[in-house]
Structure 1
Amino acid sequence: MLASRKTTPSRRIRALAAGTGVLALLGLAGCSSQPSGGSGDGASPGDAVKVGLITKTDTNPFFVRMRDAAKEAADAQGAELIALAGAFDGDNEGQVAAIENLVSQGVQGILITPNSSTGILQAIADARDAGVIVIALDTATDPEDAVDATFATDNHQAGVYQGAWVKAKLGDSEPVVAMLDGTPGGTVDTFRHDGFLEGMGLTESSPQIAAKENTNGDQTKAQTAMENILSAHADVNAVYTINEPAARGAFQAISDAGLADGVTIGSIDGSCAGVQAVADGQIGATVMQFPNEMAALGVKAVVKYAADGTKPTGFHDTGAQLITDQPVEGLDSQDSAWGLENCWG
């Protein structure tokens, strides 16, 4: 029986401040909150603390929610948010350019969800050498201490929850597993993948794993990958997915093949669309994350650093909650009704 850890986050924020500005620079999308006073290290009296945010993309609902929560937190603390993003999931060069841009704008701290956990390291080091603190959100760097601190889901544990639930739902059936991974080189992808295997009681070389495909967390790519897998392994009965868009793509391929009743799908995210897919029976279970917490804690840490020089350190777990309408013994879970009251996006 797997030990559980119950997380009770605050309800998601439904009303967001308006007036987000949009700028285009170096092919990156960004927004800046309106400063409302305050002072920061190196800033003139009355200037707002500048907080930079760099997400993987500006279209994924997870990162949209993170950006909105960061703006709300910055506004509440009299800080200015400058938000940039990569052009696509995996756009390391775009994020490098964004770091350089934010340093040139005089930010006191940068919050980043790295597209590449290793490819971004030199740009982060240059920013820290310039006196800017850098905090990873959602995705840890490799090594983790390349940044001052990390505020994120324990993605390995989230993967364990997904795997343990899928294993329990299969019961006595021998697993035939398809793994729809994300983007190579990201710690989130590695942690979730490895956690799922641990929860299933499998290893990388276990014969129960029928196939593995990278999907970049994209629904269309995941559907195509699942179609290809089913053409060679029609006996698949369990699917690991890196996120809910990948899970929805997998379900579409499985449903089109007339196999929906015989395949168990697990996922991770906690978006409103993903939780609705749980309620509709498309995804068996998902593990909810809380981007609001990541963003708010990150902004608070930068403002504190600007005020008194205190740097955050280490890893800060922002919580994970299993959501399913098919609970299993030994795993703490909430149903989809609770999930729809606490989801994001």
Structure 2
Amino acid sequence: MAHRHTVRKRSRPRRPRQGAAVLLVGTLLLGAAACGGSQDSTGGGGTRKVTIGLVTKTETNPFFVTMRKAAADAAKKNGAELIALAGRFDGDNEGQVAAMESLIARDVQGILITPSNTTGVLGAIAEARRQGILVIALDSATDPEDAVDATYATDNFKAGRLQGAYVRAVLADRPPELIMLDGTQGSSVSQQRHDGFLRGFGIKDDSPVIRGRANTNGDRNRAQTATENLLQRTTDVNSVYTINEPVADGASAAIAARGLTRQVTIGTIDGGCDGVRAVRSGHYAATVMQFPVRMADRGVAAVIEFTKSGRKPSGFTDTGTELITDKPVQGLASQNTDWGLQHCWG
């Protein structure tokens, strides 16, 4: 029988701050495994079910919806209980801090978090780890990365670089006229993808070829409004960077309304099934697929292993990227939308 990690008695946790923006997505009470195979010793001779917390940036973005479902499925398979919480919007650091405090109070064994702010949630993470809780970042690294026990995420700089290299290659000899639609100010994911795109596109952040830019908080409606406003200043645009597929959808709608679809190449990142279909239908030229199910599966597996053996994961694990397009360019490896629809999520 495998050795089981004994959870030490924790000090009384702080009460979650009043007024913090916590959104309880749902508590999934999942049956215990037969023979207590995934249960955790309490030190009092009994056993209790392994409880895992998941804190995502929002509950509505399809990426996080997929991650939440994958984590629930993985927990159920291992006879564990998943408590899923989320911020009210991308960038809601206060909501994520309050969610962390709530999970500490619930005495979970592990917390998986997609931090909206690279530094804003560090205090809550430190308190969780002080109380013996395994903390793993998914999708977004903290700053510093070793503030958590481990990270399972997309290499977001690489994803941005792939998008940038592809969009620039499609332009060929045409001088670039670029709009950049970023995510949330202060977000590590947003900055890494932005910087990666610039590297792949071959320009600096102060380049005059950037005709306009806006922060969208990763939201479709904000992106559509931002693009409409930018196009009121100039329609001399032939390329658009987008932080994710909801933003690409909003940009595509605004560009189509102006009759500019044929002249503008839109790139994006996500790899959801709707996004792959949008590539197939020509709403945007390419998406860089990431793999939220892998992140959730590996995070849950790490917590289960920790409760059994006390072993902790460490470091950054890249969960992979694939460029998806039906119009490949020389020098960039890619998959077509047939492959994409077989491997997409959401």
TM-score relative to the length of structure 1: 0.90
Q: TM-score, normalised by structure 2?
A: 0.90
**Closer, same or farther in 2 for the Cα pair 1:41/1:327, shift >3 Å?**
farther
Which residue is equivalent to 1:326? 327
Q: How far did residue 234 of structure 1 move?
A: 1.0
Q: CA deviation at 1:152?
A: 0.4
Instruction: Report the counterpart of residue 131 of structure 2 in structure 1.
Output: 130
For 2:177, the aligned partner's letter is V
Matched, 1:229 2:225: no
User: Once the two structures are superposed, what CA deviation does each residue of 1:4-29 show, in whole Å capped at 9, x if it has no partner?
Assistant: xxxxxxxxxxxxxxxxxxxxx95432
Q: Which runs of 5+ in 2 are unaligned?
A: 1-20
User: Which residue is 2:318 aligned to?
Assistant: 317
Q: Residue 15 of structure 1 aligns with which residue?
A: none
Matches within 5 A, 1:64-103: 64-103=65-104
Map of 1:337 onto structure 2 = 338
Aligned to 1:39: 39
Paired with 1:155 and 1:327, the residues of 2 have a C-alpha distance of 21
Name the SS for the 2:25 alignment partner.
strand
Q: Secondary structure at 1:107's aligned position in 2?
A: coil
Supply the distance in 2 between the matched residues of 1:297 and 1:170 (Cα, whole angstroms). Answer: 38
- Residue 41 to residue 167, structure 1, CA distance change in 2 (3 Å): farther
Deviations 1:58-83 (A, max 9, x none): 11111111011111111111221111
Gap change, CA 1:27 and 1:299, over 3 Å in 2: closer
Q: Does the 8 Å CA contact 1:178/1:211 hold for their aligned counterparts?
A: yes
- Answer with 64-73 or 30-39: which moved more: 30-39
Letter in 2 for 1:193: H
Query: Secondary structure of the residue that 2:89 maps to in structure 1?
Result: coil
Q: Which residue of 2 aligns with 1:22?
A: none
Q: How far did residue 270 of structure 1 move?
A: 0.6
How far residue 208 of structure 1 moved from its aligned partner, in angstroms, is: 1.1
For residue 190 of structure 2, what is the aligned residue in structure 1? 189
Unaligned runs of 5+ in 1: 1-24
1:242-321 equivalence runs, <5 A: 242-321=243-322
Q: Distance in 2 between matches of 1:225 and 1:51?
A: 38
Matches of 1:219 and 1:310, distance apart in 2:
41
Say if 1:39 and 1:45, in contact at 8 Å, map to a contact too: no
Q: What is residue 19 of structure 1 aligned with on the other side? A: none
1:304 counterpart SS class: helix
Q: Superposed, which structure 2 residues align to 1:19-34 within 5 Å? A: 26-34=22-30
State how far apart, in whole Å, the 2-side matches of 1:60 and 1:343 are: 15
Contact 1:33 1:71 in 2 (8 A): no
CA gap of 1:41–1:331, structure 2 versus 1, over 3 A, is farther
Aligned residue identity for 2:201: M
The answer to whether the Cα contact below 8 Å between 1:41 and 1:108 also exists between their aligned partners in 2 is: no
The structure with more radius of gyration:
2
Q: Which moved more, 1:288-297 or 1:79-88?
A: 79-88
Asked if structure 1 preserves the Cα contact closer than 8 Å seen for 2:58 and 2:86, the reply is: yes
CA shift, 1:33, in A, is 3.7
What is the CA deviation profile of residues 201-229 of structure 1, one whole-angstrom value per residue up to 9, with x for unaligned ones? 11111111111100111111101111111
Task: Give 1:170's aligned amino acid.
Answer: L
Question: 1 CA distance for matches of 2:249 and 2:22?
Answer: 33
Letter of the 2:24 counterpart:
L
Shift of 1:86: 1.0
Q: Is the 8 A contact 1:197 1:204 kept in 2?
A: yes
Deviation at 1:94, TM superposition (A): 1.1
Amino acid at match of 2:239: A
3-state SS in 2 of match to 1:93: helix
Distance 1:161 1:153 in 2: 13
> Kindly, what percent of the aligned residue pairs are identical?
58
| Counterpart in the other structure of 2:112 | 111
Q: Deviations over 1:14-48 (max 9, x none)?
A: xxxxxxxxxxx954322324131322254764422
Distance 1:266 1:45 in 2: 54
- How many residue pairs were aligned? 321
Return the alpha-carbon distance in structure 2 between the equivalents of residues 269 and 78 of structure 1: 30
Q: Is the 8 A contact 1:222 1:250 kept in 2?
A: yes
Q: Deviations over 1:81-109 (max 9, x none)?
A: 11111122111111111111111111111
| CA distance in 2 between partners of 1:218 and 1:71 (Å) | 25
Q: Which stretch has the larger CA shift, 184-193 or 33-42?
A: 33-42
- Give 1:250 shift: 0.6
CA distance in 2, matches of 1:27, 1:66: 16
**Do the aligned partners of 1:33 and 1:74 also contact (CA within 8 Å) in 2?**
no
In structure 2, how many angstroms separate the alpha carbons of the residues matched to 1:312 and 1:82?
Answer: 21
User: Deviation of residue 115 (structure 1)?
Assistant: 1.4
